[in-house]
Amino acid sequence: MEQGVTSSTIDPTRPPPLLEAHDVHHTYGIGTREAHNALGGISFCVKQGEFVSIVGPSGCGKTTLLRCLSGLMKPTSGTVSLDGAAISSVPAELTLVFQDYSRSLYPWLRVADNVDFPLKDARLSKSERAERVAQALADVGLTDHTTKYPRQLSGGMQQRVAIARALAYRPAMLLMDEPYASVDAQTRASLEDVLLDVWERRNKTILFVTHDIDESVYLADRVLVLSRGPSRVIADIAVDIARPRDQIETKATPEFVELRAEVARLIRDAGSGAET
Amino acid sequence: MDDEGASIVSWIRAHLADIAIKIAVLVALVAFWWWATARAQSLFFPTPDTVFESLWNDWLTNWSESWRENFGPSLKRLLLGFGLAAIVSIVMGVAIGRSSTFGDYVEPIIHFVRAIPPPAFLPLFIILLGIGDLQKVVLIAIGVFPPILLNTIDGVRSIDPQQFDTADVFQISTRRRITHVILPAAAPKIFAGLRISMSIAVILMVISELFAATDGLGFRILQTSRQFQYVQLWAGIVVLGIVGTVLNGLLVVVERRVLRWSRV
């Protein structure tokens, strides 16, 4: 499989951002009457080690954006670069956690084998692989369920398996597409903390797409707010709230309340105004 | 998933009434067979005791000869025809299923071939391929491959695209994408095709041995009929029933094992 990296220009004096999107446009069905302009020129960057959330009104093209960022889909125009190199297909240093775990996990592989599956192509020794699988499953709290099949687990646990699989792969950049949209509120809160814990301990770089405003603020260093489609980045908000964060304490701080109101206001205005 | 051994006992206990009814039905059926044939006194419808006696004397006591002359040749043809057709049609099915344009051209042709009753090929095959094993194996393979092929295509087509997106995202190699994503995902449908095909294979095996054969199970039935040995003829029919049941049973065992994940 190709790496999808066409050129590699690393300037030692000024390291480029890890992920950079430059003026990304995407239109579905160009030239047809049903042409739909989903992305209207998106530009932003994510630095090494950062946790960035993307939030926007529903149907604003978040999934389209992630597919373009991950290289699964080629945008109509604009470039996405990872570590300074423009990507043309899915780069090996990046991975994506899908919203729908039940369709993304392989039901014929046991939990540990699902996590191990991508590692077999990565030319790793058996012991290295076993160690990565064990560590990733321990990180998400699934050590006791390694020999079960995904369908024997609850939805929240299945999404943990999907996260463990992405972690064991050890990508430089982890993209997440509304990963907690289909789990209940309590599971969601605990999965948010699992993710924050892993991000802090393992020094990951995460881009987290969600439609949940609380979640976007609670998790991230920065929140990017998208307009309604054709979407653009209408705000880039820094979240200067101390870490480690706590589901109850953090969400009760005035900074959190203020930021979530600001984001909510932006989304409300974006949702009502952009209908043309 | 049940543990073998200990759980068999508990399974029997739980299904005792069910098993008793099934045995009772079987006994009633054989009893009716007995009553009807004994009453009829017909040469063509022997009583079950004579049929079972023939099973014992003609098939089991000279087992090595039965195996050499009947079971062996028949099973060889059946398994060769079935196996070759299965391998070829699964490979073709994956290729066609993954390519929508190729599939659109080829699929009407497969449906046409499927509509032809395979025995219609028999006279042609006897001329082209002779009266040996080759002709019989090819006939079985021809009849067996459309259901497996169509089921494989269907199974591959209905794989969720996200499973391929996932494979893309994790840089899964083409080879492992076939062996570890496409084949397992399509396996339930492939096995459905294999089960249909197994009964077709047994039918075609018998038919092919009724024409221009010198050995095999079908040949033995034909031979007993020609020699007016109707008891032996019925015993042969019972043997074929047993062979079909055992082959289907083996396939089901393999399927259960391979598709264990789908029943959790």
The verdict on B30 and B150 lying in the same domain is: no
The verdict on B53 and B12 lying in the same domain is: no
Name the residue of chain A whose CA is nearest to B261's CA.
A108
The verdict on B169 and B72 lying in the same domain is: yes
Cβ-nearest to B264 among A103, A106, A151: A151
Mean confidence (pLDDT) of chain B:
92
Is the CB of residue A106 less than 8 Å away from at least one CB of chain B? Answer: yes
The verdict on B113 and B244 lying in the same domain is: yes
Mean pLDDT of B107-122: 91
Mean pLDDT of B60-70: 91
CB contact under 8 A, B171 and A120: no
Is the CB of residue B1 less than 8 Å away from at least one CB of chain A? Answer: no
Is the CB of residue B172 less than 8 Å away from at least one CB of chain A? Answer: yes
Cβ-nearest to A72 among B163, B165, B172: B165
pLDDT tops 80 at residue B239? yes
pLDDT, tens only, B219-233: 999 999 999 999 999
| Ranges in chain A, pLDDT < 70 | 1-16, 271-276
The verdict on B203 and B219 lying in the same domain is: yes
The verdict on B145 and B257 lying in the same domain is: yes
Contact A28, A35 (CB under 8 A): yes
Q: How far does the CA of residue B148 sit from the closest CA of chain A (Å)?
A: 21
pLDDT, tens only, A183-207: 888 889 999 999 999 999 888 999 9
Q: Which residues of A touch B166 (CB under 8 A)?
A: 98, 104, 106
Identify the three-state secondary structure at position A150: helix
CA distance B110 to A195: 51
The verdict on B8 and B53 lying in the same domain is: no
pLDDT, tens only, B145-164: 999 999 999 999 999 999 99
Q: What is the pLDDT of residue A228?
A: 87
Mean confidence (pLDDT) of chain A:
89
CB contact under 8 A, A95 and B170: yes
The verdict on B205 and B245 lying in the same domain is: yes
How many domains, in total, are found in chain B? 2
Cβ-nearest to B163 among A103, A149, A169: A103
Contact A173, A19 (CB under 8 A): yes
Is the CB of residue A92 less than 8 Å away from at least one CB of chain B? Answer: yes
CA distance A5 to A7: 6
Q: Which residues of B touch A170 (CB under 8 A)?
A: none
The verdict on B7 and B65 lying in the same domain is: no
- Domain range enclosing B17: 1-41
Q: What is the number of alpha carbons within 13 Å of residue A42 lying toward its C-beta? A: 35
Q: Is the torsion defined by CA of A66, A67, A68, A70 positive or negative?
A: positive
CATH number at residue B60: 1.10.3720.10
Identify the three-state secondary structure at position A209: strand
Q: How confident is the model at residue B216 (pLDDT cuts 50, 70, 90)?
A: very high
CA distances from A105 to A168, A195, A270, B44, B176 (A): 14, 18, 35, 60, 15
For residue A26, what is the enclosing H or E element? strand A19-28
The verdict on B178 and B250 lying in the same domain is: yes
CA distance B138 to B78: 10
The verdict on B109 and B204 lying in the same domain is: yes
The verdict on B129 and B254 lying in the same domain is: yes
Q: Which residues of B touch A103 (CB under 8 A)?
A: 160, 162-163
**Interface with chain B: mutation pick from A1, A124, A152, highest number of B CBs within 10 Å:** A1
Q: What is the pLDDT of residue A71?
A: 93
